[in-house]
A = this chain, B = another copy of it.
């Protein structure tokens, strides 16, 4: 293997070896190489993938405590992504984010996070019992987007809470916006605490100089990447990377064993091995091509009347240090329609976006896209623009952003774990003021939760939520998205 280095695929090869060896299978899965699988499944999936769906057979190693081909594949991944050690994840980045928190926080320990963290971090807080110190992300009212963190905010919170055990950030945001991770890593390390990075949307950063700096290159201690999101792995296949000695690797492994299936899918794991080999051996060329496609799309879309695209020129401020140019966030608000409406129009035209919101549509350009895809996107957006009812007669009252209220940084009354396990009740919204929220309440846009489990519900927050709904936004995370009621902690 050493001779061919990153061209090797040790795990994938071992699986292939089994699929080519005639034998009588008396192990799981029950479909036995697809022979007993439902006809409809074989029809959808093809037989090859079912033949590769094997369990932890002799020679196929064990994900929980790897010593063979999984270990070798993970070592190649660590080398390719610039880590000291890597773990394959079969429960998505979700499991990795929670495991990173478990490895660094005891129950009751303080951890700094931005309020626009992914829901998997909330899961981590509930499972560990760690206490969040929430930071407001930089909010750009002009675009109605939540960006990254200002490093000075981290300096301030660590000064106020010197007993903090870890900092977790999101890099990049869903919109491709990056904080100054190197500066944040320096601040964390000056306090001798680890920086954990949810880099779910940035797995491709390591493979081209024109992409933002990867979290590992910037000095992060633990980094979680959805290899399926921007690279070639299958959905739900991800990696957790470590560098340095600030975190115990054993604790990471222990946490992952609690959070991942003991029957891990070799189909998902093989896709990680293959995706790593692909990027290590062809990554620069693939990313050059991907950047070219995205850059072409951006410049062509910018010329379409009524449309704007988030651009690298906008970078250079706290919370917006760099932009992932492969992510296209197109503002449609000036067409007088919402992103949701635009999304439906585009679907009818054969173009499917990643994420619509009130004012924007976000598109992911990746190594799987072609010049034809870009042509279809640009053409569809031109059609959308031409159809716009208001380009000559603007009337955008309902699309004015609702300014996001700063939450200030304070520790919650209850930890998310305490709130999760507390006795709860459902109350009408007009009786919710001054109660403790038992749920997450997140308005879109901009996707920053206004209430976390354990936080005091205040009148300004309720007013903000109502304003978002009135403006055509959505509320997610909570049981009643119409906001007639809220889940609160029962008063003792």
A377 to B26, CA, bound (A): 9
In chain B, what residue has the closest Cβ to A23? B350
- Contacts A94-B262, A126-B258; is A232 near B421 (CB within 8 Å)? no
Interface residue? A92 (CB, 8 A):
yes
**Stretch of A317-325, A363-371, A454-462 with 4 or more beta carbons under 8 angstroms from chain B:** A363-371
A364's partner among B12, B26, B364, B370 (CB-CB below 8 A) is B26
User: Would you call B22 and A229 a contact (CB within 8 A)?
Assistant: no
Q: Are A33 and B368 in contact (CB under 8 A)?
A: yes
Q: Contact: B258 with A127, CB < 8 Å?
A: yes
- A226 CB-CB contact with B under 8 Å: yes
In the complex, the answer to whether A364 meets B95 with C-beta atoms within 8 Å is: no
Task: Give the residue name and chain of the B residue nearest to A487 (CB).
Answer: B250
Q: Are A267 and B36 in contact (CB under 8 A)?
A: no
- Residues of B contacting A271 in the complex (Cβ-Cβ under 8 angstroms): 37, 41, 45
A376 at the binding interface (Cβ < 8 Å): yes
Contact of B236 with A354 in the complex, beta carbons under 8 Å = no
- Residue contact A35 to B370, C-beta cutoff 8 Å: yes
CB neighbours of A376 from chain B (8 A): 24
Listed stretches A47-55, A150-158, A189-197, A390-398; interface member: A47-55
Contacts of A264 in B (CB 8 A): 92, 235-236
Cβ A37 vs Cβ B258 within 8 A: no
A324→B250 CA distance, assembly (Å): 38
Tell me which residues across on chain B come within 8 A of A350, comparing CB atoms: 22-24
Q: How many residues of A contact B (CB 8 A)?
A: 109
Closest to A418 in B: B107
Contacts A31-B234, A54-B235 supplied; 15 other A-B pairs, CB < 8 Å: A24-B377, A27-B352, A30-B232, A30-B233, A31-B232, A31-B367, A35-B369, A38-B275, A45-B48, A46-B46, A46-B47, A58-B352, A93-B263, A118-B262, A234-B267
29 example contacts (A-B, Cβ-Cβ < 8 A) are as follows A12-B44, A15-B44, A24-B352, A25-B368, A27-B353, A28-B230, A28-B364, A30-B228, A31-B228, A37-B232, A38-B232, A40-B277, A40-B278, A41-B274, A41-B278, A45-B270, A46-B48, A49-B267, A90-B236, A91-B260, A119-B262, A123-B258, A127-B258, A229-B263, A234-B267, A235-B263, A235-B266, A254-B420, A259-B259
Chain A residues proximal to chain B, CB less than 8 Å: 9, 12, 15-16, 19, 22-41, 44-50, 52-55, 57-58, 90-95, 98, 106-107, 118-120, 123, 126-127, 204, 226, 228-236, 250, 254, 257-268, 270-271, 274-275, 277-278, 286, 328, 343, 347, 350-354, 363-370, 372-373, 376-377, 380, 420-421, 479
